[in-house]
Chains A and B, each alone.
Chain A
């Protein structure tokens, strides 16, 4: 609850920092970017439009073809571990289908402004819901109050710079590569990636709790 309250008050500040860092990073790299105002819940956001590379029809077709070849190769090549092959294939399928979609429809549903807006809104929502989600995890286990607080606090604190740097990186990648990468970046490296640190920090803190329980063997007497 404490972390949730802190997040509630600091989310607007962090969202602004996220927007400004990406804007600064884009301009340093020579990407033409222009911010505009947006409001999500009670948070004022500052998404931006930025120049994005646009592929011609030949590039799109070649992209789709390369992705199809990658899927084919990693479907039959047995040497790499299966999870790695599946993950590469999933990425290739997303990029390839996005390229084909743009080829037929002319453009994706998101332009640079809408994508920027989506990234900022997702980050705000993630920061606000993450403490609640982690609290549900933590409620099951014998953490002390300070372990609980640290677990939730550190995970959220880790996610904030991750989101900020990732957003700037996405803008930089899309400005150079074009929108065919957009669904892949958002769906596989977006909010999905935010949830991974939860389990990581959870496991570290749980080892601490397990050590404490080991020292007090009496708690297992009921078993």
Chain B
């Protein structure tokens, strides 16, 4: 019994240590973003020849949003002779096929791919597009996104740097004011991109390619073996594989694109759970390779390892809470780590991008979103929800590993928010 209590004590201290490491990391990111010199992206280059680009839009039953994303892409100001759009109709059973076919008849640069057999899901769709894409630079947009007129050009300019293997833009929910959940997600997103991603880009660490509003070099993706159709976080997979191979990810903070954030708790829960499952699978696959990567500096390796662990931390927190409860039952609760634990739990309240409250506050300050700062305490309501969803995903990933089972792609449900809702 004494040994068990001693081990539990040690575990509680480990949990507090893990949280302290992440607190220091994010404190550093926030400091970098607010007080240090910022690294510009490449969009101010004006005398470069624009390269050819293939825009891929994976679609599975997207009849409510398909037209809007295709209209937005058609309105882009990128030269038509260096531009093609491949909407990938991935096993759709609604009117997506008809919509895509109609657009392809009207515009010669829209060349749809119809996937009606084999694996379903975004990584499988991307894998099928790689060999047929006409251009070397591939940009990816989810079907619920609305790229602005100049976005393609802004993103593509990153590839003038021969060291850049992938680029990432900024995702902004366009339905932020729809309800409490979407407001909270807008704040999470803000912290994750405005501060976290930009700071990692400033510090030459590993900004994450996010799987949408971003792109990569087709040849590099092919050299790295394409996409695993069973990956649930193909974005994390690609980010890590690029980093291990010595490629850099460029981050364009000004290249904003608008998405439809899930407005229902159950939908958001499934989305977070899927991300966590995929991300934790990447953790198991790449952890040791990242720790020993020769192409990376020690700072990049540390950042890469912490990035891989991000979706495991809520599970660590929950087990830390359970350990505290056990110690309480046994009359052995340690006061010092418990107080530290409580402070950390409250300041860390957005596990989607693992952005602590001060990071989100900095992002809102930079965005000039004064009124939203008053919503910061409400992030606490999200803490348990996010932690639960991410922990469930981590348990799924663990189950996958133990049972050797393959994950199935689960699409995030979209309703096609009216354009007026911003």
Is B93 engaged at the interface, CB distance under 8 Å to the other chain? Answer: no
Given contacts A87-B384, A206-B373, is CB(A108)–CB(B329) below 8 Å? yes
Cα A101 to Cα B328 in complex, Å, equals 11
A–B pairs, 11, beta carbons within 8 Å: A140-B27, A140-B34, A141-B361, A192-B342, A192-B345, A196-B380, A198-B347, A202-B376, A207-B371, A210-B365, A210-B368
- Say yes or no: is B324 at the interface (Cβ < 8 Å to chain A): yes
Q: Is the CB of A186 within 8 A of B328?
A: yes
Q: Does A146 belong to the interface (CB within 8 Å)?
A: no
Q: Are A140 and B362 closer than 8 Å at their CB atoms?
A: yes
- Asked if B401 CB lies within 8 Å of chain A CBs, one says no
Pairwise interchain contact A203-B329, C-beta atoms closer than 8 A: no
Interface of A is mostly: helix
A126 partner residues in chain B, CB cutoff 8 A: 339
Stretch at the interface among B48-56, B230-238, B330-338, B407-415: B330-338
Question: Judging by beta carbons under 8 Å apart, are A86 and B346 in contact?
Answer: no
- Is B239's CB within 8 Å of the partner chain A? no
Q: B339 to chain A: which residues have CB within 8 Å?
A: 122, 125-126, 129, 191
Nearest-Cβ distance from residue A148 to partner chain B, whole angstroms? 14
CB contacts under 8 Å to B, within A173-223, are 182-183, 186-187, 190-192, 194-196, 198-200, 202-204, 206-207, 209-211, 213-214, 222-223
A140 and B346 CA atoms in complex are apart in Å by: 18
Contact check: which of B335, B358, B388 meets A118 at CB < 8 Å? B335
Check if B328 sits within 8 Å of A187, measured CB to CB.
Answer: yes
Cα separation A129 to B370 with both chains bound (whole Å): 29
Contact B38 A214 (CB under 8 A): no
A106 on interface, CB distance cutoff 8 Å: no
| Inter-subunit contact A214/B331 (CB<8 Å) | no
Q: Are A195 and B343 in contact (CB under 8 A)?
A: yes
**Of A78, A83, A109, which one neighbours B382 at CB under 8 angstroms?**
A83
Question: B30 touching A196 by the CB < 8 A rule?
Answer: no
Question: B385 to nearest A CB, angstroms?
Answer: 4
Contact A82–B361 (Cβ < 8 Å): no
A132 (CB) vs chain B CBs: closest residue: B343
Given contacts A125-B335, A133-B343, A198-B346, 9 further A-B contacts (CB under 8 A): A86-B388, A94-B325, A136-B27, A140-B31, A140-B358, A141-B358, A199-B377, A206-B376, A222-B38
Residues B52-69 near A (CB distance < 8 A): none
Residues of A within 8 A of B325 (CB): 94, 97, 183, 187
Measured between beta carbons, the chain B residues less than 8 angstroms from A183 are 325, 328-329
Interface residues of chain A, those whose CB is within 8 Å of chain B, are 78, 81-83, 86-87, 90, 94, 97-98, 101, 105, 108-110, 114, 118, 121-122, 125-126, 129-130, 133, 136-137, 140-141, 182-183, 186-187, 190-192, 194-196, 198-200, 202-204, 206-207, 209-211, 213-214, 222-223
Contact between B328 and A204, CB atoms less than 8 A apart: no
Contact status A78-B266, CB under 8 Å: yes
Residues in B with CB closer than 8 Å to A140 are: 27, 30-31, 34, 358, 362
B362 and A203 contacting across the interface, CB-CB below 8 Å: no
Given contacts A121-B335, A125-B335, A140-B30, contact A202 B357 (CB under 8 A): yes
A81 to chain B, nearest CB (A): 6
- Smallest CB gap from A100: residue in B: B329
CB distance from A187 to the nearest CB of B (A): 6
Q: In the complex, are the beta carbons of B343 and A196 less than 8 A apart? A: no
Pair B347/A137 contact, Cβ less than 8 Å = yes
CA distance A140 to B368 in the complex (A): 17
Smallest CB gap from A223: residue in B: B38
- Distance from A219 Cβ to chain B, minimum over Cβ atoms (Å): 11
- Could you say which residues of chain A place their CB within 8 Å of the CB of B38? 222-223
Residue B269 lies at the interface, judged by CB distance under 8 Å to chain A: yes
Contact A202 B361 (CB under 8 A): yes
Q: Which one of A101, A192, A199, A209 contacts B379 once the chains associate, using CB atoms below 8 Å? A: A199
Least Cβ distance of B384 to chain A in Å?
Answer: 5
- Residues from chain B with Cβ under 8 Å of A105 in the complex: 329
Is B34 a contact partner of A210 (Cβ separation < 8 A)? no
Question: Is B46 an interface position by the 8 A CB rule?
Answer: no
Say yes or no: is B14 at the interface (Cβ < 8 Å to chain A). Answer: no
B264's closest neighbor in chain A, by CB? A82
Q: Are A206 and B377 in contact (CB under 8 A)?
A: no
A114 to B31, alpha carbons, bound, how many Å? 42
* Contact of A129 with B343 in the complex, beta carbons under 8 Å: yes
Our pick among B324, B362, B380, B384 for the contact of A86 (Cβ within 8 Å) is B384
B234-286 interface (Cβ within 8 A of A) = 265-266, 269
Chain B hits for A108, CB < 8 A: 328-329, 331
Bound CA–CA A186/B340 (angstroms) = 15
Please name all residues of chain A whose beta carbon is closer than 8 Å to the beta carbon of B335 when the two chains form the complex: 118, 121-122, 125
Instruction: State which of B357, B377, B381 has its C-beta within 8 Å of the C-beta of A83.
Output: B381
Chain B residue nearest to A190 in the complex (CB): B342
Nearest B residue to A107 by beta-carbon distance? Answer: B331
Contact (Cβ within 8 A) B329 A187? no
Report the separation of the CA atoms of residues A112 and B330 in the bound assembly, to the nearest whole angstrom. 14
User: In the complex, A81→B265 CA distance in Å?
Assistant: 7
Which residues of B (363-409) have their CB < 8 Å from a CB of A?
365-366, 368, 370-371, 373-377, 379-382, 384-385, 388
- Whether B83 sits at the interface, judged by CB under 8 Å, is no
